[in-house]
Amino acid sequence: MATSFDPTSHLLLTPEDPDAPARMARFRELGLGDRPVAEFDDFARRLAELTGAPFAVVNLVGEDHQYFAGLYATGSEQAVELSPADPAPGGMDRMMDRDHGYCPHVVVRKKALVLEDVCDYPRFAGNPVVDELGIRSYLGAPLLDPTGIALGTVCVVDQEPRPWGRQGLETIKSMAAELTEVIQRGVALPR
């Protein structure tokens, strides 16, 4: 039986994540999970301000979904009740399938990812967030736990192409390192 070869079939797949079970155990140890954290929302707001991006996220990547434990959308200055059932700032949903977006790639690679225009990269241009949310630009860095596991990411996105440049890369990496230290100290995190 002959099979046809599709040279692009591997391009749109979300990468395999062998660390997912260990990451879930680490979330339990740290008291993190599928619930918003007010301090993470504040962190996301600061990240958006530093980068000039309209959207910023502290994203905890699970086995089958991503959870935006911190989220900021420009123009959503109102207070947000923080419970899993409540909407996020600007009415955005805090949960997304694992095969949507670029953060799962950052978590598996354990390296920052800069996409000034996602449409320039065939592997990323076909991601559902391009058509469903109009995402055109992404800048993200992993939250690297001392155990060697990437817990998730901090990232910013825009619906327009953005020249993030070296300054953007340095900013996102330093902000990820800062938040990782905060998480490790357990500062301002609910238990």
- pLDDT in the model for residue 79: 34
What residue ranges in 27-107 does DSSP mark as E strands?
A: 55-61, 65-73, 95-97
Domain boundaries, the chain: 20-185
- Give yes or no for residue 115 having a pLDDT over 80: yes
Q: Round to whole Å and give the CA distance between 26 and 151.
A: 8
Strand order in the sheet with 65-73: 95-97, 65-73, 55-61, 150-158, 137-144, 113-115
Residue 140 sits at φ, ψ, to 5 deg, of -145, 155
Q: Does domain 20-185 have CATH number 3.30.450.40?
A: yes
- Which tens digits make up the pLDDT trace of 52-108? 999 999 999 999 899 999 999 987 654 333 333 444 444 458 999 888 889 999 999
